[in-house]
Amino acid sequence: MSVACEAHSKNRSVVIISPALAAANNGNWQTARRWQQLLQSATLPAGRLSARILSHWPDGPLAVHDDCMLALHARRSAPSVLAWAQQHGGAGLAVVLTGTDLYRDIQTDPEAQRSLKLAQRLVVLQDLGLQALPPELQVRTQVIFQSTSQRQTLPKSAHRLRALMVGHLREEKSPQTLFDVARLLGPQEGILIDHIGSPLDPALAQLAQATAAACSHYRYLGGLPHEATLRRIQRAHVLVHASRMEGGAHVVMEAVCSGTPVLASKIAGNVGMLGPDYAGYFDWNNATQLRALLRRCHHDRDFYALLQAQSAARAPLFDRQAEQRALTQLVGDLLPGGPAGLLD
């Protein structure tokens, strides 16, 4: 075999399907971009990996060189999943389940259900994700915790509490809970609320603006670049994460790895990341409970220190090398010549 042919045989191509690309600046894109970087810096026994991100597959002549597919979102990536399965059977195909997949779409949507049947492997992004799947799917499902870099924990003011919510304005993120708590708190209480997220839902954007007009302690900042958002997470005392469904939110791990405790709705996607004994939960859509937690963080130093300690204990789950190991193991299993998988 020539040197050129041998080199080509040791290059394997992974295609990552993401329904959102860079302009969306959301969790799917962040996952796709990070996985591309992790795979391209890894070496498998089969050789080096290349990885490209698409919203739809196939995309022309390059598609014939793809060795495996990682498809984010069972419903929204369903056409690409089907096209891959028609060309490759189920081999080389993993479907990564998001929050709307796990906790809504796979219950009722035929295309999402088809994606589950076609995939050789399934991936969930936090421990409780497995419980949302029937036993026959759990046996071919892998948990991969996502990762982020550790950032310096910054000193926090003792005179006021700065709370931050990060999430594009859409119903699944439950911004109404934050609007409600802003109106329940008085401006004299020393609790300031900043809200970052693009106005995807015009009605929710109007409510954000109305809340800002009525409550001087609430600011709606709109969408911000990722790095600017991370800096604000570092400076906040707490991150508020009020979602009604999550597969494994980036912003939760980003807060944990910045030394910023999270006040989170008690839903499976958050409990699977923060642990069942975490002290910072409130019932979903319960602004009164969230107000009590914010006040307690402001006035009870021991409680705030407990949240900091519990958050720090979860940070090792979100280690970049651990994610890379899990991801390359998955890809190694999917590549031709790897384990046959657990196909039904």
CA atoms of 38 and 322, how far apart (whole Å): 11
Judge if 3-147+319-334 and 161-318 fold alike in CATH terms.
yes
What SS3 state is found at 294? helix
Domain ranges of the chain: 3-147+319-334, 161-318
The CA-based angle 226-309-38, given to 5 degrees, is 40
Helix runs in 257-300, H state only: 268-274, 287-299
Check whether 226 has a pLDDT greater than 60: yes
CB 39 within 8 A of CB 32: no
Is the CB of residue 195 less than 8 Å from the CB of residue 208? yes
Q: What is the pTM of this model?
A: 0.87
| Strand 161-166 relative to strand 191-196, pairing | parallel
**At which residue do the structure tokens 């790095």 appear?**
227
pLDDT in tens, 233-287: 999 999 999 999 998 999 999 999 999 999 999 999 999 999 999 999 999 999 9
Cα-Cα-Cα-Cα dihedral of 30, 127, 194, 291, to 10°? 170
Range 5-21 average pLDDT:
73
In whole angstroms, how far apart are CA 236 and each of 202, 231, 296, 314?
A: 27, 9, 15, 19
**CATH superfamily, domain at 161-318:** Glycogen Phosphorylase B; (3.40.50.2000)
Q: Tokens representing 304? A: 């705030």
Lowest model confidence (mean pLDDT) among 55-69, 262-276, 296-310, 329-343: 329-343
Tell me the per-residue pLDDT of 85-110, one tens digit each, with 9 for 90 and over: 999 987 999 999 988 899 999 999 99
pLDDT tops 60 at residue 224: yes
Q: Which CATH architecture group holds 3-147+319-334?
A: 3-Layer(aba) Sandwich (3.40)
